[in-house]
A and B are shown apart, each in its own frame.
Chain A
Amino acid sequence: MDNKDNVNPTIINPSDLPSRRRSAPTTKRVGLFDSLAPAYPSLAEPLSSPEASEASLSDDEEAEEIDEQEVYDLISTISDPEHPLSLGSLGVVKLEDIAILPPTSARSRISTVTVLVTPTTSACSLTTVIGLGVKVRLVNALPPRFRIDVRIKPGTSSTAGEVNKQLGDKERVAAAMENKSLVNVVNQMLATCE
């Protein structure tokens, strides 16, 4: 965290960031996932209380479709580990770099979310932590029918291949989330999320 090679990042004003004006008061996403222990039990509490999840299960099934904006809203408020700013403000995550692919066949129920992350620094370890924060946030916040691929935006980092491979390895990610110091860093990053 000491070597800030990007001391003057471009900061976008939060009110200029793409967002959706919500008419419905339900800001908490409820999913099938909530009735199970979260994939990373070492992290903060689940998004909604267990009682709410029962009643709202049908809401989720009413296909309140999760779209790119929804995903963006989940991750844009993650704090950068280096600067006291959000990933959205720093342009680390951008709406146009999020893609959702629907199930590939009629029988499949699996959708894929791909998020391309633009690192602010060339430091590989920080880039990995940022990617990990985005991945963990989405794994915990989205229903389990989403497969989440977090990758470094091509052309923005020479170590993109290495970072992508780590972020794509479920075993490594699971083991990382049992590592206390990493968990603390990620928790701090996610503390600013609602």
Chain B
Amino acid sequence: MPSLELLATCTPPCNTRTWLSAPHPHLPIIATACSDKTVRVYSLQNFQQQSTISGGHKRSIRSCAWKPNSKGESVLATGSFDASAGIWRRWEEGGGVRKPAEIDFTTGLAGGDGEEDEEDEWRFAVILDGHDSEIKSLAFAPTAPLLATCSRDKSVWIWEELEDDNFETVAVLQDHEGDVKCVAWHPKEELLASGSYDDNIRLWREDVDDWACCALLTGHEGTVWWVEFEDANNIYALGSSEDLNDTQKDYVDTRLKAGPRLISCSDDMTIRTWRHVPKDKPELPAGQIKTTSIWKNRDFEEEWVEEARLPQVHERPVYCVSWSRKTGRVASTGSDGKIVVYEERWRSTPDTKSNDASGDVQMAGGAPGPDMEDITAKKLSGSDGHKGGVTEWVVVAEAENTHDVFEVNHVIWAPRADKGKRFEDEEVLISTGDDGEVKVWTFDT
């Protein structure tokens, strides 16, 4: 049975609650949002604190996010309980032409007189005001220069980044009926997902010129704390397509047509996956001329269904899930202080020939017989809520008391970068807790 092993605790820890850690898109560092109004940047090579970002916010920093695809410069957005978002920049070695020095709003940084210090210096580039109350989450889009922020004021804002640190508000979306807790972008399309205190998930897209809600996903029975799309290539995590039976092949086709799924976790202690149901364009009735407006509305709204529920392990609200981009494994954490790792596998049925289908994935399981029976039994009793699905989710590792007795607010997969790295593409899990600590875990098979 695989396990999670504690590799390191980042030092020095924060002495107040830490909310979230964001791994940099390509450097081996993470940024941790702290309730002491700072962001700490830790190295994933030696787990030491590298720098601190402070002075820009008047209240706790709840969330931070790195801009993906940024050349020569690291850009970090910070979301604070003071209702503003900050954009911070830092030049990275070997990257691009240096801009003329800007006015520095940061305080508390190590002195930056010499040029050699400029590389470590975080510059407060711009503040984004607009929300009426605390910002809960923010995210940069991977395929467009957009930033989404969300708040207790029930709205989601979309900002477009223009030249010279100008961010223009492109949309203020107010369909949610309660705090918006989280936002997440689709990996390939300009589609945004948001989870809310109103127990719902909404998807948003640009409809010609205006952003609007294109789908409402209901079902959760408590606040939705986190939403995330899977990587577009996740379907391959199930293994090669050579040994599949027809049902399984059909399923792969459906998944490929539907695109990346969404995962969500909630106060109701469940973790659910949701799948897009693409529309088949129906034949036009003969003689129908005025179709443009009908088409537009039909094409804009999307149908999404709840596909599966992961086995329920958490006994208290689940605050965060992370879907690995490399392996497709899901990690979850929450108020009970546990970290749980799940894998998706082909469901074994009496019809499939030898149950080696799940052997494609790197998990070398134990003896197939009794375990499979347990899983089948659980399936029949509906532990994943969906009998008869082609795939099923299975718990592969569980760790308790991961941050002593404290709640864990965030967990995320990241590429391993320290000396003990065992293979290419190895990932670690980074957890962030109420104890002010950021811990790094290896997943050992």
CB within 8 Å of B: which residues of A?
32, 36-37, 39, 41, 104, 107-110, 143-145, 147, 165, 168-172, 174-175, 178
Contact = CB atoms under 8 A, between A and B. Distances in A.
B316 interface: yes
Contacts of A168: 267, 317
A183 to B, nearest CB: 12
Given A107-B400, A147-B316, A170 B15 contact: no
A174 B59 CA distance: 11
Nearest to B81: A175
Contacts of A170: 335, 407
Contact of A110 (B35, B62, B223, B405): B405
A109 B435 contact: no
B83 to A, nearest CB: 10
B211 to A, nearest CB: 25
A175 B152 contact: yes
Contacts of A108: 336, 400-401
A104 B316 CA distance: 11
Chain B binding surface SS class: loop
A142 to B, nearest CB: 11
A178 B60 contact: yes
B230 interface: no
A174 B133 CA distance: 13
Given A168-B267, A171-B62, A174-B60, 13 more contacts: A36-B15, A36-B16, A36-B436, A108-B336, A110-B336, A143-B405, A165-B223, A171-B134, A172-B152, A172-B179, A174-B35, A174-B81, A178-B81
Contacts of B60: 174-175, 178
Contacts, number: 62
Contact of A171 (B16, B136, B435): B136
Interface in B293-344: 315-317, 335-337
Contacts of A175: 59-60, 81, 133-134, 152
A109 B405 contact: yes
B337 A110 contact: yes
B401 A107 contact: yes
A36 B401 contact: no
B197 interface: yes
A144 B17 CA distance: 12
Interface of B: 15-17, 35, 59-60, 62, 81, 133-134, 136, 152, 179, 181, 197, 223, 267, 315-317, 335-337, 400-401, 404-407, 434-436
11 contacts: A32-B404, A36-B16, A36-B436, A108-B400, A145-B405, A165-B223, A170-B407, A174-B35, A175-B81, A175-B152, A178-B60
A168 B315 CA distance: 14
A32 B160 CA distance: 46
A32 B134 CA distance: 30
A191 B35 CA distance: 25
Contacts of A41: 16
B405 A144 contact: yes
A169 B197 contact: yes
Nearest to A146: B405
Contact of B434 (A39, A107, A143): A39
A13 to B, nearest CB: 38
B228 to A, nearest CB: 18
Contact of A36 (B336, B400, B435): B435
A39 B336 CA distance: 17
Nearest to B62: A171
A104 B407 contact: no
B38 to A, nearest CB: 14
A83 to B, nearest CB: 30
A147 to B, nearest CB: 6
A77 B295 CA distance: 65
A37 B406 CA distance: 13
Identify which of A32, A169, A171 gathers the most chain B CB atoms within 10 Å of its CB: A171
Contacts of B407: 147, 170
A174 B405 contact: no
A32 B407 CA distance: 14
B401 A104 contact: no
Identify which of B62, B134, B404, B405 gathers the most chain A CB atoms within 10 Å of its CB: B405
